[in-house]
Structure 1
Amino acid sequence: MMEWLDHLHAHWPALRNEAGTKRARYPQIMLLSSSDRDEATIHDVHVRVGAEGELKGARALRIAGREPIAVEEAWIAGADVVEGGRQLVPERVIHRGQHGRSHILSRPSGAVSPRRSRMGPSTVRHIEYTRVVTETNDIRPALVGWLRSQIPDATEIRVSEPRKPGAGESSDTQLCVIEIERAASLECIDAVLRCAPRAEGPFPEYDLGLQAHVMRSVGQTGMVPVPEVLWLEEDAGVLGVPFLVMRVVPGDAPLDRPAYQAEGFYHDASREMREHMWAGTIEAVARLHALDWRELGGGIVPGSRAGEDPARVSLDYWTAYLRDFVKEDPDESLEVFDEARDYLVREYPASRRLSLCWGDAKLGNVLYAPETRDVAAIIDWEMAIIGDPEADLASLHLSDLRAQDLAGGARSGTPTADELVALYEKASGGPVENFGYHLVFATFWRGAVQLAVMRQLRRRGVPIEEAMFHDNFPMNQLRKLLGLSGP
């Protein structure tokens, strides 16, 4: 899902009082960080407890620049890690100490990675909280039973315990190994299990069937690398939600948090390697846009369905999203968003090229091969739509501006807007005519999604300062693009 929004809706399920739920109170939480200049703060914590009340893990809502940026997963550490002030520590650790105290150790986005240095003096803050969290059930028996129905010739099927990918991935995506024994063979599949959200998310619906269709259709062309879809189950009766199973693609995706412009393999790469990554990404996107959208849409992708106008489906969707899903009332005034919507309707380009669009286009949704940093796969197709291909280009640029904003600047080799347009024109063989319009459009819809998620969190009782609803990156970017004052 999109940047920090992916973290928020996927990691922060609605809290419900259910049978078997354990209530625990840990009156003192200590956040330790390896720098006194900790720009991100912890605002709320959910704990998971076992049958005997023991601490099993935690998730913490992290705030930076007055915006909710992530819900961070923690795991259990031994007392030696917590009490040994200069030991090597993971990025996020939680430990149940003596006297009922728990400690969350967390490295701020600007601090040096503990993989490269030892932890120095720590700052400490205290948070009071009480939370109710239900333990996650083991889904393996149900998954194995379902797989038997999909692989009738298997004599035995085993699934390893699902685990989350590295930091920055959503909790509805898990990795596991599927072992399939047949009469004379054993097949081991490194698999990705992607489930629909189990709680309210940032969209009215979540269509895994659409994602599977797009990946299969695009993959069959051989023109754009995408994950291989192995199985799709749209019946929620198996695991509680629809899900699909894909084959793992070896590669790394630039992280949203911490921003890839500030830390990680993109930050550490040479200028030439970063230029190579951008060029490869733009070439893959241009190849996608060159495919026959009528054939690939199949009446499934929005814009290819009966009765839809493919030239307007994207604008119609996002204006309706603001009116019907984000606003408390259709007549509610939302300052910058209303101005942007009016601009987008008024300045709608008369002449538009149509293609299958990726939708959530950003570097964080690209897997790059570990050694060469070639594009290994384009991932996250939940927002695929028929539309103007320039929308993907603008989305890529806006997402990178966000990473630059969080990092305080861009690394060399990162293209400017003009350079990005030139790369695309070279790769596609055609002109980019309405990039400014689509940059407003990308900022509008990403900002609307951010606002929807923030309102959902506030309805669930998560404390979010009122100023954050008016002073944040997409809204400030819209003001800049439209020449509006504020916040």
Structure 2
Amino acid sequence: MGDGTIDQDRIGGAAKLSADKFTTTTRDPDQLGRRIGDWLGTKLGKGSNPTVFEVSKPEGNGMSSETLLFSARWRDGADVVERRLVARIQPELDKVPVFSSYDLRLQFDVMALVGGATDVPVPEVLWFEGDGSVIGAPFFVMARSAGDVPPDVMPYTFPDSCWLNGASTVDQARLQGSAVEALAALHELGPETHDLDFLAPERPGETSLERHLAAWQDYLDWATHDERSPLLDECFAWLRANLPAEGIDTGPPRLSWGDARIGNMMFVDFEVAAVLDWEMASIAPPEVDLGWMTYLHRFFDDLTVDLGAEGMRQFMRPADVVATYEAASGRTVGDLRWHMAYAAMRHGVIMRRVTERSIHFGEAVRPESIDDLIIHGATLRSMLDGTYWDDVGF
């Protein structure tokens, strides 16, 4: 294909993973809304008489935690309060979850920290509920932000997929710069100035990067315990053998967003209006987030180009991202190749789980080779042999 059309059946290769549908939950949103309305009465107090309405689920992004959008109205003395809210809910752990556990308290606390200590726009966190019996799983409620999100489904890199793909190069550059500057502002938070112990992985290692990698090795072991992935095992062996020296080849440890990408941001007039999805937050050198931000764009763009469409090759180029970040932070960034490979290889484990869940819901087929569950397996192989980097944009 060279006409810009996308054959959706090919998006997952042998697994035939859909490009426009990913089931994340079987819970009924209206029932969840009713139960949250009852629970709000206990939080707001006697006489508040809350009502929950306009309940829906967002479309286009998110493959792990469950998100519920709703509005609520209640009485506060003589006044009537109405707010647009969001509930983040622990996913159904019996439906092939992407991660082995979901620390919603950590997400709540890190958003509160970022909102209070930086100018990075995050939604206001309001209430946390750890009792799973209230609606069937732990959850928290936050204020709902306004803005547009570059979609994952269909990916924003696909032709005519969304407002970003069709925007001018000037507006695309404006969005890119705003996203990178928000990441630089977030990285002002470090363990020397703020208590970040609650984010530190309890794993062996002398540096934050070693501990970060150890935590992802544990995730790989959990995700592939039924059947090992030769490709992913080779990837993680390469990561360990080529680990950068923290503080020499990288910057110092900072608060790491974890899922640092534009698909987890809301934009108004191509400027960041909200930074979302903190379930992968940790402590790591800044390059870990920068590698994730640049590679996750490449992930979608590689899919687009491989399917015969033009893609967005001049967007989120590593050299441009690094230049913007260094100007905003005043810090020098180390070589991103290892960190982009780290992102791709971690994303390989995630995509194996996503594909397995799609198979569970009948949205994909199980391929003969276990490594074909990883839809960007060819990318991982080319990173291992060094041929991937020729047109990446360093």
TM-score (norm 2): 0.84
Identity %: 29
1:474 aligns with 2:369: no
Unaligned runs of 5+ in 1: 1-34, 42-61, 75-132
Q: Which of 182, 194, 203 is 1:284 aligned to? A: 182
Deviations 1:353-372 (A, max 9, x none): 20011101111011001xx2
Q: Distance in 2 between matches of 1:227 and 1:279?
A: 21
Tell me which moved more, 137-146 or 342-351.
137-146
CA contact (8 A) 2:292 2:340 kept: yes
Q: Which amino acid aligns with 1:225?
A: P
| Cα distance change of structure 1 residues 155 and 202 upon mapping to structure 2, 3 Å threshold | closer
Match of 1:362 in 2: 261
Secondary structure class of the residue paired with 2:109: helix
Deviations 1:278-334 (A, max 9, x none): 1011101011111134555543213489999534221001112212332326xx4x3
> What does 1:325-364 correspond to in 2, within 5 Å?
325-328=223-226, 332=228, 334-352=229-247, 353-364=252-263
> What does 1:175-324 correspond to in 2, within 5 Å?
175-198=69-92, 199-262=95-158, 263-293=161-191, 296-303=194-201, 310-324=208-222
> What does 1:440-451 correspond to in 2, within 5 Å?
440-451=341-352
Q: Which amino acid aligns with 1:190?
A: R
Unaligned runs of 5+ in 2: 388-394
Q: Distance in 1 between matches of 2:139 and 2:266?
A: 21
TM-fit CA distance, 1:484: 7.3
Match of 2:390 in 1: none
Q: Distance in 2 between matches of 1:313 and 1:237?
A: 34
CA contact (8 A) 1:256 1:364 kept: yes
Task: Tell me the number of residue pairs that the alignment of Structure 1 and Structure 2 aligns.
Answer: 368
Tell me which moved more, 202-211 or 347-356.
347-356
TM-fit CA distance, 1:166: 3.5
Q: Distance in 1 between matches of 2:244 and 2:386?
A: 22
TM-fit CA distance, 1:454: 2.8
1:430 aligns with 2:324: no
> What does 1:91-102 correspond to in 2, within 5 Å?
none
TM-fit CA distance, 1:418: 1.7
Q: Distance in 2 between matches of 1:293 and 1:452?
A: 32
Q: State the superposition RMSD in angstroms.
A: 3.0
Secondary structure class of the residue paired with 2:312: coil
| Cα distance change of structure 1 residues 296 and 147 upon mapping to structure 2, 3 Å threshold | farther
Q: Distance in 1 between matches of 2:144 and 2:28?
A: 27
Q: Which amino acid aligns with 2:326?
A: E
Match of 2:317 in 1: 416
Match of 2:272 in 1: 375
Q: Distance in 2 between matches of 1:65 and 1:305?
A: 35
| Cα distance change of structure 1 residues 255 and 470 upon mapping to structure 2, 3 Å threshold | same
Q: Distance in 2 between matches of 1:446 and 1:73?
A: 16
CA contact (8 A) 1:274 1:413 kept: no
CA contact (8 A) 2:292 2:343 kept: yes
| Cα distance change of structure 1 residues 69 and 460 upon mapping to structure 2, 3 Å threshold | closer
CA contact (8 A) 1:290 1:355 kept: yes
Deviations 1:392-443 (A, max 9, x none): 1111111111221233244375132222222222222111113111111111
Q: Distance in 2 between matches of 1:253 and 1:351?
A: 33
| Cα distance change of structure 1 residues 179 and 65 upon mapping to structure 2, 3 Å threshold | same
Q: Distance in 2 between matches of 1:357 and 1:202?
A: 20
Q: Which amino acid aligns with 1:398?
A: Y
Q: Distance in 2 between matches of 1:460 and 1:265?
A: 30
Q: Distance in 1 between matches of 2:7 and 2:316?
A: 27
> What does 1:30-45 correspond to in 2, within 5 Å?
39-41=7-9
1:147 aligns with 2:40: yes
> What does 1:96-135 correspond to in 2, within 5 Å?
none
Secondary structure class of the residue paired with 1:258: coil
Q: Distance in 1 between matches of 2:385 and 2:139?
A: 44
Q: Which amino acid aligns with 1:378?
A: V
CA contact (8 A) 2:297 2:316 kept: no
Q: Distance in 2 between matches of 1:384 and 1:479?
A: 27
Q: Which amino acid aligns with 1:314?
A: H
1:404 aligns with 2:301: yes
Q: Distance in 2 between matches of 1:154 and 1:254?
A: 41
Secondary structure class of the residue paired with 1:189: strand
Q: Distance in 2 between matches of 1:335 and 1:468?
A: 9
| Cα distance change of structure 1 residues 236 and 288 upon mapping to structure 2, 3 Å threshold | same
Q: Which amino acid aligns with 1:180?
A: W
Higher relative contact order (CA 8 A, sep 6+): 2
| Cα distance change of structure 1 residues 305 and 220 upon mapping to structure 2, 3 Å threshold | farther
CA contact (8 A) 1:142 1:239 kept: yes
Q: Distance in 2 between matches of 1:467 and 1:435?
A: 31
TM-score (norm 1): 0.69
Tell me which moved more, 376-385 or 404-413.
404-413
| Cα distance change of structure 1 residues 209 and 346 upon mapping to structure 2, 3 Å threshold | same
Tell me which moved more, 243-252 or 451-460.
451-460
CA contact (8 A) 1:39 1:64 kept: no
Q: Distance in 1 between matches of 2:320 and 2:22?
A: 37
Q: Distance in 1 between matches of 2:376 and 2:115?
A: 33
1:388 aligns with 2:388: no
Q: Distance in 2 between matches of 1:339 and 1:484?
A: 14
TM-fit CA distance, 1:224: 0.9
Tell me which moved more, 431-440 or 404-413.
404-413
TM-fit CA distance, 1:459: 6.1
If you compute each CA radius of gyration, which structure gives the higher value, 1 or 2? 1
Q: Distance in 2 between matches of 1:139 and 1:285?
A: 34
TM-fit CA distance, 1:162: 1.5
